[in-house]
Chain A
Amino acid sequence: MNLIKKGSWVQIEKIVLKVGERADNIPEETKNVPLKLFQKGYLQADAQIGEKVTIRTIIGRNIEGELIAENPKYSHDFGRPIPEFLSVAKEFRELAKYKEGN
């Protein structure tokens, strides 16, 4: 496994509340899974994915957790064009034209 170098920008994960520690007044499906936290920062010592590490956040706080990724990519995008929407302008303009024609 690749060693990630000290000082790299990484992401960690930790469990804040285990199943059994969660609030009483929440739905079962939420109660049955742990509350997890994800955070990014500079790795404080060389480490491999899955190891317990310390990071220093962008504003300088030290946080501990399990190393899960090195500089993860922003994964959100624009999706696909939605064919149902291609005709919106036409639908509005036809209304106005019909009215003017009267």
Chain B
Amino acid sequence: MRKKNKIMKMALGIDYEEFEEDGISFNYEKLMEKASYPLEKIRAIQSETKVGNTPLFELRNINKAVRALSSPGKGARIFLKDEAANASGSFKARRASVSVFHAQEKGYKGVVAATSGNYGAAVASQANMRNLKSIIVQEVFDSRGYGQPEILEKGRKCETYGAEVIQLTVGPELFYVFLKVLEETGYFNASLYTPFAIAGIETLGYEIAEQLQKSEGKYPDAVVITNAGGGNVTGTARGLIKAGSTNTKIIGTSVDLKGLHMASDRDFNRKSFTTGHTGFGVPFTTQPDRADVPRNAARTLRYIDRYVTISQGEVFYITEALSQLEGIERGPAGNISLAAAFSIAQEMREDEIIVVQETEYTGAGKHVTAQMTFAREENGIEVKKGNPEEQIPGKNIVIPESPALIKVKELDLNELRTSYIQKQVSGTEIDKLSERELKFLANETKSSVNFIKEVLLNLK
């Protein structure tokens, strides 16, 4: 453990001790301010490496279907931020750009990231532009040797960008391989969860507020954000606030993968989404510091107003709608928030605007057809048309029979807040928590000291 902290300190150049306060609390805003760069500087960094200023457009044909399904006066317009236009094809370029810039500034020879997702390609692509070496550590294969097609594609993309790719079979011990690589190379840890990574996403929220203000004369009424490790929600929400869009409702969403174990060799290839799902989203929301840094800068509960889930079949369905009706082929993982927005827009007023804040590139392995074929033919998953209510993750994928059947499910935020508080105070004496610690918990959960006291009373 001590060795781990030593390696981390060397590989990040951040002393997290500096931000610790009494007991369970730490100074989050100070961490974000002192261990990163101001927004204007980040915009300049990103403009050097083909990141940002992605288009925001209205989904006119999909919005006709939203209106058709809504009761009179309802049916908000959906706008989409086309993040696939970033170098390497996803919003993860924003996240990688600042880390890689910082690594270059501090004289590191290379960067390392542990990721099976788009982030690997983003790090490798940014490293190329900054003339650094990159190593990406991925979890790819089950013990049969079957690689998840989406992750195989990301491995290919990393190789194309000249990264050294280390591919592993299923298991959380990937982290030890990652630590060993950091120790052996002395490279920078381009973790997804540092202040650099989160600050890099702030420009995304900021651009949405600016672009919408310019084209529609208003800030978004709601923004839907796919939630896994929490960075996407945290960074986007912080950027919106910095732009003055403070009344925007922040809605997190994940694909429902209930019942599948993330470290299971058997379940690994029974899911068609490798990220953006509840298997990451829920545990990271209630326990953000389970990350690869001492304090995770991604803290979902600080910003989220609502958290909904959607099924795999519904996301695949809306992905096809996006190409067949809007003429752009993206995702599918980047369209989780689009599926959720299609449902939520029907509850909102027709003069309101809901923004889907990302897309991602698609291709061999990632594409709906690749994932559905892999599920059906290699993993015995039943694919059928029907009502998504009937979905059982790992057993079937239910494609909605009609757009009317796309419906989000609510997660109880207070339950998640309670679970977070429970984990934070476990091992401490509840009666001895200081005012500062209570205030910290309230800030961490976007609630009040009274709410915290109530929860603690019930925990005793």
Scan A60-102; emit 1 where CB is below 8 A from any B CB, else 0.
1100000000000011111111101100110111011011000
Q: How far is the CB of B295 from chain A (nearest CB, A)?
A: 22
How many residues in A have their beta carbons less than 8 Å from beta carbons of B?
43
User: Which segment of B220-228, B257-265, B280-288, B298-306 sits at the interface?
Assistant: B257-265
Q: How far is the CB of A92 from chain B (nearest CB, A)?
A: 5
- Chain A residues with CB under 8 A of B404: 95
Q: Known contacts being A29-B264, A78-B367, A92-B325, is A84 close to B171, with CB within 8 Å?
A: no
Q: Known contacts being A27-B264, A61-B185, A88-B321, is A78 close to B399, with CB within 8 Å?
A: no
CA distance A40 to B167 in the complex (A): 9
Q: Known contacts being A57-B164, A88-B324, is A79 close to B403, with CB within 8 Å?
A: no
Verify if A45 is at the interface (C-beta below 8 Å from B): no
How many residues in B have their beta carbons less than 8 Å from beta carbons of A?
64
Contact of B321 with A30 in the complex, beta carbons under 8 Å = no
Q: How far is the CB of B30 from chain A (nearest CB, A)?
A: 33
Contact of A36 with B169 in the complex, beta carbons under 8 Å = yes
By beta carbon, the residue of chain B nearest A57 is: B164
- Chain B residues with CB under 8 A of A98: 68
Give residues 4-27 of A contacting B (CB, 8 Å): 16-17, 22-23, 25-27
Q: Known contacts being A36-B169, A88-B320, A89-B324, is A16 close to B264, with CB within 8 Å?
A: no
CA distance A34 to B140 in the complex (A): 14
Number of A-B contacts (CB under 8 A): 153
Contact of B167 with A74 in the complex, beta carbons under 8 Å = no
Q: Known contacts being A39-B167, A59-B164, is A79 close to B156, with CB within 8 Å?
A: no
- Chain B residues with CB under 8 A of A3: none
Q: How far is the CB of B373 from chain A (nearest CB, A)?
A: 3
Verify if B69 is at the interface (C-beta below 8 Å from A): yes
- Chain A residues with CB under 8 A of B324: 88-89, 92
- Chain A residues with CB under 8 A of B365: 76-77
Scan B373-401; emit 1 where CB is below 8 A from any A CB, else 0.
11000000001110000000000000101
Contact of A30 with B62 in the complex, beta carbons under 8 Å = no
Contact of B369 with A23 in the complex, beta carbons under 8 Å = no
Contact of A58 with B172 in the complex, beta carbons under 8 Å = no
Q: Which single member of B162, B321, B367, B399 contacts A58 (CB below 8 Å)?
A: B162
Contact of B321 with A23 in the complex, beta carbons under 8 Å = no
- Chain B residues with CB under 8 A of A59: 110, 133-135, 162-164
Contact of A96 with B367 in the complex, beta carbons under 8 Å = no
Scan B147-166; emit 1 where CB is below 8 A from any A CB, else 0.
10100110010010011111
Contact of B163 with A58 in the complex, beta carbons under 8 Å = yes
CA distance A34 to B169 in the complex (A): 8
By beta carbon, the residue of chain A nearest B68 is: A99
Q: Which single member of B162, B263, B317 contacts A27 (CB below 8 Å)?
A: B263
Contact of B152 with A61 in the complex, beta carbons under 8 Å = no
> Which of B165, B171, B266 is packed against the most chain A CB atoms within 10 Å?
B171
Contact of B165 with A95 in the complex, beta carbons under 8 Å = no
Q: Known contacts being A23-B173, A40-B165, is A95 close to B317, with CB within 8 Å?
A: no
Give the interface of A toward B (CB within 8 A): 16-17, 22-23, 25-27, 29-30, 33-41, 57-61, 74-82, 84-85, 88-89, 91-93, 95-96, 98-99
25 A–B contacts from the bound complex (CB under 8 Å): A16-B168, A22-B173, A26-B263, A29-B266, A33-B169, A37-B168, A38-B141, A38-B167, A39-B166, A58-B159, A59-B133, A74-B364, A75-B152, A76-B365, A77-B149, A78-B370, A79-B149, A79-B367, A79-B373, A81-B369, A82-B369, A84-B385, A85-B317, A88-B321, A96-B65
